[in-house]
Structure 1
Amino acid sequence: MKKLLYVVTLFLTTVSPAFSSPPATFTEAKVIAKQKIYLDQANSPMGELYCGCKWTWVGKSGGRIDAKSCGYETRQQQTRAERTEWEHIVPAWTFGHQRQCWQSGGREQCVDTDPVFRAMEADLFNLYPSVGEVNGDRSNFNYGMVSGVAPQYGQCTTKVDFQQRAAEPRDEVKGLVARTTFYMFDRYKLNMSRQQQQLLMAWDKQHPVTAWEKERDRRISAIMGHSNPFVTGQRSWTSGYKPAGDGIVSAVPVRTPQPAPTPTLASASTATGVIVGNQKSHVYHLPSGCPGYAQVSAKNQVAFASESEAQAAGYRKAGNCK
């Protein structure tokens, strides 16, 4: 009995706000998610997200799927079918595409330059261990109702429609993914289609908050410093809901382009490696291989020391560069 009390006390201590802080990166988030949220869930009846499989932990944040525990059968990718992966319930592609940084350079650019994207990528409410193969098949598809698709993963009831680019999770987690999606779109002020809203509102009503979802919320809130208001009942998503944007705590840094050291292109081009941007078109030209390099008018010139600097300022390479 004393040993049991010690284990419980030790576990609760690991999720105490006094010893926790929100993760700063996706890599850090995966380790914290294992240690402080899902450590005791590997053999729970709930199992991982999509198929309810049990798993064993491996390394800092990985795991090996117990296929027999859930009747899982590999569809195609055996290696990924055997391991757990961390699923972003709202895909990084989805929230990334609503940030300017993604347009400038994709996910890597967002990680490097956008603190709001980094917060979204590392948000513990949006992470859940899942069978790697299903995680890969789901890709960046929206959740939806999938009909006419035969079972793809043995007894696992999650279905993926590759043609319609939609994924329907098992009934046991439909409410959880709906309320997690509401949270992400509300906290980070994202835009959701009316069709997606209607589907998720239906799932929210059909599949009420479970005891595990409440416990998960409690554990995550101890680290993040706030709860998911759509789990606690503080907020409810309705048609026409206006996201609050509570997570937009710092603006994306915007670099104010500085004019070239000298007003003439002739003198600017004598400096080795100078990249010339056009502040009117937000296109940049390299000293070699870009026919437009000598054609940018002096009044529109902006000089950059590197392509990464130009891209960070919101510029893109000229399409006619070789």
Structure 2
Amino acid sequence: MMHLIYALALLLVSSVCLATPPASFPEAKVIAKQKVYFDQANSPMGELYCGCQWTWVGKSGGRIDAASCGYETRKQQNRAERTEWEHIVPAWTLGHQRQCWQHGGRKQCINADPVFRAMEANLFNLYPSVGEVNGDRTNFNYGMTSGIPAQYGQCQTKVDFKNRTAEPRDDVKGLVARTSFYMFDRYNLHMSRQQQQLLMAWDKQYPVSAWELERDVRIAAIMGHHNPFVTGERQWRLGYKPVGDGIVSSLPRANVHSSAATEAGSHEASGSIIGNRNSRIYHLPVGCPSYDKVSAKNQVPFSSEADAQSAGYRRAGNCS
């Protein structure tokens, strides 16, 4: 039955014209409301962490219906009353493995790194959630929270502040696992062995649901590709080697150009070319797979390729 549902879903997405992926996180939130979660505010699935229903407010916000899920505020009343857009894989985790984070945190990544902007705006990684739980989870990894009592009334998600872990409710553990696999795979990120083992267990224990399939189809119609860990095209195994197909593709439209000359100009404007003082080789933020592998102590920033070449540097041979 599940295969039939997905076959019909694939037929549906193949019959529509693909939209352009969002170019920024603010744009992604609006598109997520309009085209992915537009009919989910009163669905039995509810928001991510507690299954609460909500009422849409403004372009992409919402007000939580606490009674619908038995939610009780732990500490932050204002955030408990509103929905926020949770990055299932935190923006901190995404950015911390990019060089830009070392040079100014999230703001620098947004300004200088088109790959980070693509990660931050990736619709597969976004889900409405109770603001308070989103804030409590912060950038913690997922984990088991044995011994932690209920913190939000009847909400099953728990946060272990001491050990910096968060355990989502059972209904979304599989979705969380497969979304994490997708993000780490697409953007060539490193995942600890312990996190891999946990998410692999959740992936197996909580198989793809009808809603997760439908969500995948809706997002694919915008992003132009599916989550292969939902469709079954890929399977995460211990020691899996990420493909990294999002490093040089599916970038925000403001950073994708048809001509090499225009592309070079965009690199120069960003001021994010990185040279390696030891090898005398420079790397561009897009199309150069070793861009984020230059150690901080060896980095030499350049505002343009001309500046780098004038200083005696040459472009890395593995740049596309």
Fold-level similarity (TM above 0.5)? yes
SS in 2 for 1:56: strand
* 1:179-198 Cα distance to aligned partner (Å, 9 max, x none): 00000000000000000000
Partner of 1:150: 149
SS in 2 for 1:148: coil
Tell me the TM-score normalised to structure 1 length. 0.75
Give the one of 273, 284, 288 matched to 1:255.
273
Partner of 2:317: none
SS in 1 for 2:104: helix
Unaligned runs of at least 5 residues, structure 2: 1-11, 252-265, 276-295, 304-320
Q: Which structure's relative contact order is higher, taking Cα pairs within 8 Å and 6+ residues apart?
A: 2
How does 1:44-63 map onto structure 2 within 5 Å? 44-63=43-62
Q: Decide whether aligned partners of structure 1 residues 212 and 233 sit closer, same or farther in structure 2, where only a CA change above 3 A counts.
A: same
Contact 1:17 1:223 in 2 (8 A): no
Contact 1:89 1:177 in 2 (8 A): yes
Partner of 2:63: 64
Aligned residue identity for 1:129 = P
Partner of 1:118: 117
Contact 2:81 2:130 in 1 (8 A): yes
* 1:50-105 Cα distance to aligned partner (Å, 9 max, x none): 00000000000000000000000000000000000000000000010000000011
Q: Decide whether aligned partners of structure 1 residues 17 and 96 sit closer, same or farther in structure 2, where only a CA change above 3 A counts.
A: farther
SS in 1 for 2:86: strand
Unaligned runs of at least 5 residues, structure 1: 1-12, 258-279, 285-301, 305-322
SS in 1 for 2:79: helix
* 1:157-203 Cα distance to aligned partner (Å, 9 max, x none): 10000000000000000000000000000000000000000000000
Partner of 1:22: 21
Question: In 1, distance between residues paired with 2:88 and 2:213?
Answer: 17
Tell me the TM-score normalised to structure 2 length. 0.75
Aligned residue identity for 1:190 = L
Question: In 2, distance between residues paired with 1:242 and 1:256?
Answer: 25
SS in 2 for 1:18: coil
Partner of 2:78: 79
How does 1:156-167 map onto structure 2 within 5 Å? 156-167=155-166
How does 1:121-200 map onto structure 2 within 5 Å? 121-200=120-199
Give how far 1:115 is off: 0.6
SS in 2 for 1:128: strand
How does 1:235-314 map onto structure 2 within 5 Å? 235-249=234-248, 253=267, 254-255=272-273
Give how far 1:21 is off: 1.2
Question: In 2, distance between residues paired with 1:17 and 1:255?
Answer: 38
Give how far 1:15 is off: 11
Contact 2:18 2:224 in 1 (8 A): no
Partner of 1:211: 210
Give how far 1:303 is off: 10
Question: In 1, distance between residues paired with 2:215 and 2:128?
Answer: 13
Contact 2:33 2:60 in 1 (8 A): yes
Contact 1:15 1:36 in 2 (8 A): no
Q: Decide whether aligned partners of structure 1 residues 123 and 15 sit closer, same or farther in structure 2, where only a CA change above 3 A counts.
A: farther
Aligned residue identity for 1:186 = D
Aligned residue identity for 1:193 = S
Partner of 2:258: none
Give how far 1:14 is off: 12
SS in 2 for 1:55: strand
User: Over alpha carbons, which structure has the higher Rg?
Assistant: 1
Aligned residue identity for 2:233 = Q
Question: In 2, distance between residues paired with 1:16 and 1:28?
Answer: 25
Give how far 1:18 is off: 2.4
Q: Decide whether aligned partners of structure 1 residues 82 and 239 sit closer, same or farther in structure 2, where only a CA change above 3 A counts.
A: same
Question: In 1, distance between residues paired with 2:38 and 2:302?
Answer: 51
Question: In 1, distance between residues paired with 2:153 and 2:189?
Answer: 35
